[in-house]
Structure 1
Amino acid sequence: MKLYFSTWLQNLGIACSIASLFTLFFRITDFAWVTKSVYYIPVFFVILFLLSLVIAEDVRKVFKKMFWYEKRKEKRPIWQVGIGFIFFLSQIGVIMVFSTGLTHLTLGGMPLFFVIAFMNAFMMTVIYEEIFHRKERVNNVSQ
């Protein structure tokens, strides 16, 4: 059950990233009319999110193959980076699509939402590891 929920959470993050980044790309081009909103939710985002849910599993598997995940002896570092990147991109995409007013705040010249998204992604990766990979880590330490 944990593995299924973990995979579902990863796929949800990937779908959110894909939908929000494509919505953002269309919003800053001449095709901005595609991203019309209903109650401040872009319809294009919702459609892309649903389509992205269908392909998210395949995208995740492609990245696993691309980085030779199954062939690695020590898999922990690569999935931590992957999960952190999914969390980071999801947060950045959601801010860029739904709260563009927050993109103007800076911290020493760097956009504040990048800093906060990075810190959140780090904390979420630690929490994710504690929830889904605790037994795996305990078994490796005892061996």
Structure 2
Amino acid sequence: MRELLFTDFSSSSAGKIYNWAGKTILIAEDTDCSFLYLKTVLRNTAASILWASTGQEAINLVREHKEIDVILMDINMPGISGFEATVGIHSIRPSIPVIAQTAYVHDNEVELCYASGCIDYIPKPIDKNLLLEKLSVFLGAGVPKPQKEISG
């Protein structure tokens, strides 16, 4: 099996360091590549990551894991859509923040995201800095990275 290589985003996160130790993010995403990208972007934040590859699995994980702090919800999921999964999740935990993510932006899709209970929206391809800033609203703000001294 080939080893997957990903860019280390730790030095390019808009000049901020995010420490979300003790926080849990559920990524509801049906494609391996998209999940691995998100997990790679988040790896230096110290957050715990859970993965649901279907809408039903996302609902089940919310039922089983009370520690989930925020959900990144792909809208185009197999079986139960991200819209339906968000409604199901909010029947279990009404106040959990769900951020919709999708590559399929139709005229009314953003409105449908909000109508289903999503609190925010991020388009694909996902910009890593925008993702971190949106998550920081719910998990804690980043702190400026220390400036490296230039020796002369």
TM-score by length of structure 2 reads 0.29
Give 1 or 2: higher helix fraction: 1
Q: Which has the larger radius of gyration?
A: 1
